Amino acid sequence: MNDAIRLDGVTKAYGGTLALAGVTLDVGEGITGLLGPNGAGKTTLMRMAATVLAPSGGSLRLLGRDPRDLAARVEIRRRLGYMPQEPGMHRHFTAFEFVDYIATLKEWTARDGRHEEVRRVLRAVGLGDVAHRRIRALSGGMRRRVALAQAMLGSPELLVLDEPTAGLDPQQRLRFREVVSELAEERTVLLSTHQTEDVAALCRRVVALREGSVTFDGTPRELAELARGHVWTADRREGAALSWRTGDGAHRHIGDPPRGARLVEPTLEDGYLLLLGETATMEMAA
Amino acid sequence: MSVHLEHEWLERYARGELDQARSFSVEAHLPACEPCRAAIAGLVDAGRLSRTWDAIDLAIDAPVPGPVERLLRRAGVPEPTARLLALTPSLRPSWLLAVAVVLAFGAVAADWRGETGLMAFLLVAPLLPLAGVAVAYGPHVDPAHEVAVAAPAGTLRVLLLRTVAVVVATTTLAAVAAATLPGFEWTAAAWLVPSLGLTLAALGLATSTGAAAACAVVAATWVCAVLAAWRVGDDPLTAFGSFGQLACLLAALAGAALVIARRDTFETRSQA
């Protein structure tokens, strides 16, 4: 299968601010995680992949088509599912009504078939029993699943999920991972997240963005390996800029070792924090 | 009493082959008879039962069409289009009632204050469809707009669909109000071309600024132009003469040309 998303030197400028600074990236089958701090350009890239934002420069192809062309863009949208970072919903709608509304926009014109499909996706995300409940009466996690359900309508070839696990509790995230990992069979899922645990649990590939540029592109294991030989545990905080006290009272250090420190096995989060460097320090300070 | 249903009846009922009258008898009997319920339980095909439950579930969960959607469907509008139109804020009964009230006040003013009153009616009538278009579609009225933009139905198609529906509904109300104006002949219809001009000009401008802002700019320009023409021509109806009508027609053509030329901007700019 060809890569569903192909970016070649893609830029995006908002006035004088460059959100994407020449990104070259191919995304194929399976789940690809997009990591990056706030303002790294993740959402800009996700919105481009969802055809709602056009690049300022460079070449973008989605599902083998050029989204600048109107007919091609419509065809891409027929095969695309998109869950935005802040999925707005009509709160007075029931979950069924909301997904049905989106299905109507997705050209499901035959009423019976559309209703069957709406029910299928709501059941797939575990909301079959609350389909009749109004959105305003659903918990935050349930609303996220409603948003995921609408993205699944028509079993799209390309799924663009922008921070889908934000605000979910561990149980809800586990449920979400189950659904997404099933979805990823034979299709492309681009998943933007702040949660390195999600990337470790779900993704076959991880791309890190920083200030609009790709700073890492590899497997989750390779990202963790970046930190090998740089992650330490010690009895006190000393030296390293990236350091925190863990639950058992020891201090975990990333970077130069303090006195008496012992090397430990790196995690994906360690690799990501090392990659972020000064940005991570600022985020931790904040 | 220990009268039970014949086993053959139960079998035929379970297969869906029993005639209607006997089916009613079975259905009346079963809730009160435990042995017959137990007897039929083993006869019902699990697949058929599951399909029946699914159909009941679906019937409960399926959206119930509101009055606007039912009206549109009765008028022959296809179901998906009627659904999209029924969600238009400016097609809600409350909005249309407000429009009717404004027009009624305009008509009363025209009757009471002569030419100045008529000018007020002609000034306001084209603004009503414009206001309707401003709240017909976009991120300010549709919280799911970002998702809607990424759907194949297309922002422009939905916007145009809703615009046409709003203009038709509002224009019909304005036409009824205008018909009640006493003795002003053709002048009473002088709001029609401005309505079209303002609406299309706003859509054209929306390719650059978004629908709500475009409608606000066009509305402000219209009010200023009518008042300025009154001052210059020393007649409250100056703006509605042949020159004003021609200007509105040109604005309509320019707006339509802009929409066609820049239709792509609706589809990639989620704030459209």
**Does the CB of B145 have a partner CB in chain A at under 8 Å?**
yes
- pLDDT tens per residue, range B157-203: 888 889 889 988 988 888 888 888 776 566 667 888 898 999 999 99
Token pair in block for residue A205: 């590939």
DSSP assigned state of A204:
S
- pLDDT tens per residue, range A97-153: 999 999 999 999 898 899 999 999 999 888 988 999 999 999 888 899 999 999 999
Helix, strand or coil, per DSSP, at residue A286 = coil
Token pair in block for residue B207: 């390719």
Rounded CA separation B78/A180 (Å): 35
Rounded CA separation B75/A107 (Å): 21
Q: Residues A169-178: contacts with CB within 8 Å, 24+ apart?
A: A169/A141, A172/A141, A172/A144, A172/A145, A173/A197, A173/A198, A175/A126, A175/A145, A176/A144, A176/A145, A176/A148, A177/A201, A177/A202
Single-letter code of the amino acid located at B77: V
Query: Do B106 and B98 contact (CB within 8 A), yes or no?
Result: no
Q: What is the rounded average pLDDT for all residues in chain B? A: 85
Nearest CA in chain B to A76: B152
- pLDDT tens per residue, range A148-192: 999 999 999 999 999 888 877 888 888 888 888 888 888 999 999
Percent share of chain A, pLDDT over 70: 95
ipTM of predicted complex: 0.84
Query: If you average pLDDT over each of A236-240, A261-265, B129-133, B207-211, which comes out highest?
Result: B129-133
Inspect the interface and report whether the beta carbons of A84 and B151 lie closer than 8 Å. Answer: no
Q: Which of B63, B83, B268 sits opposite A52 (nearest CB)?
A: B268
Query: Do B181 and B110 contact (CB within 8 A), yes or no?
Result: yes
Chain B residues lying within 8 Å of A80, measured CB to CB:
150
Quick one: which of B178, B177, B195, B194 has its CA closest to B186? B178
Single-letter code of the amino acid located at B150: A
Query: Do B84 and A104 contact (CB within 8 A), yes or no?
Result: yes
Burial of A96 by CB count in 10 Å (0-12 exposed, 13-18 middle, 19+ buried)?
A: buried
Burial of A28 by CB count in 10 Å (0-12 exposed, 13-18 middle, 19+ buried)?
A: middle
Single-letter code of the amino acid located at B17: E
Count CA atoms within 13 Å of residue A253 on its CB side: 21
Q: Which of B147, B149, B268 sits opposite A150 (nearest CB)?
A: B147
Q: How far is CA B197 from CA B125, B138, B219, B253, in A?
A: 12, 21, 11, 8
Number of C-beta neighbours around residue A38 at 10 A: 10
Query: Do B244 and B113 contact (CB within 8 A), yes or no?
Result: no
Quick one: which of A224, A227, A219, A223 has its CA closest to A202? A219
Rounded CA separation B149/B161 (Å): 15
Entry pTM: 0.82
Does residue B198 or residue B54 have the better pLDDT?
B198
Quick one: which of A188, A219, A181 has its CA closest to A3? A188
Inspect the interface and report whether the beta carbons of A107 and B268 lie closer than 8 Å. Answer: no
- pLDDT tens per residue, range B226-257: 999 888 888 888 888 888 889 999 999 999 99
Nearest CA in chain B to A79: B152
Q: How far is CA A228 from the centre of its chain?
A: 25
Token pair in block for residue A69: 């062309």
**Does the CB of A132 have a partner CB in chain B at under 8 Å?**
yes
**Does the CB of B82 have a partner CB in chain A at under 8 Å?**
no
Residue A214's DSSP bridge partners are: A209
Place of tokens 């697949």: B47
Q: Which of residues 64-93 of A touch B (CB under 8 A)?
A: 67-68, 70, 73-75, 77-78, 80, 82-84, 86-91
Rounded CA separation A271/A200 (Å): 12
**Does the CB of A272 have a partner CB in chain B at under 8 Å?**
no
Return the CA Rg of chain A: 21
Place of tokens 């797939």: A124
**Does the CB of B267 have a partner CB in chain A at under 8 Å?**
yes
Single-letter code of the amino acid located at A258: P
Query: Do A57 and A11 contact (CB within 8 A), yes or no?
Result: yes
Q: Which of B63, B154, B158 sits opposite A100 (nearest CB)?
A: B63
Inspect the interface and report whether the beta carbons of A102 and B147 lie closer than 8 Å. Answer: yes
